């Protein structure tokens, strides 16, 4: 839900939601996990992608632009009790 923040969520829930957003690729779900003034820095550079996004809306716009081009695809997954 655009415009919301993860306030009140624990670290584990934020990571679960982040992972799901990365797998499913909804840029809004991913961006909504960031603070309005949050910063996302990439640990490696990709051609045509800035080294960092500053602010939730820049994260949203950047991931909207990238979502269709990722070679990562979800095949299947199994939940385990061992993180």
Maximum distance among all Cα pairs of the chain, rounded to whole angstroms: 39
- Is there a domain that residue 2 lies in? no
What are the pLDDT digits (tens) for 36-60? 999 999 888 878 889 999 999 999 9
| Residue 18 placed within a domain | yes
What's the confidence (pLDDT) of residue 5? 52
User: Structurally, how many domains does the chain consist of?
Assistant: 1
Residue 75's pLDDT is what? 56
HEC profile for the chain? CCCCCCCCCCHHHHHHHHHHHHHHCCHHHHHCCCCCCCEEECCCCCCCCCCEEECHHHHHHHHHHHHHHCCCCCCCCCCCCCC
- Residue length, the chain? 83
CATH number of the domain bearing residue 17: 3.10.450.50
| 47 within a domain of the structure (yes/no) | yes
Bridge pairing between strands 52-54 and 39-41:
antiparallel
pLDDT of residue 26: 83
Residue 34 belongs to domain spanning: 11-68
């Amino acid at each position: 839900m655009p415009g919301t923040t993860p306030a009140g969520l624990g670290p584990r829930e934020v990571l679960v939601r982040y992972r799901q957003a990365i797998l499913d690729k909804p840029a809004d779900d991913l961006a909504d996990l960031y603070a309005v003034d949050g910063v996302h820095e990439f640990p490696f550079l990709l051609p045509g992608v800035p080294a960092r996004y500053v602010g939730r809306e820049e994260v949203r716009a950047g991931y909207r632009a990238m979502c269709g081009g990722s070679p990562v695809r979800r095949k299947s997954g199994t939940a385990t009790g061992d993180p």
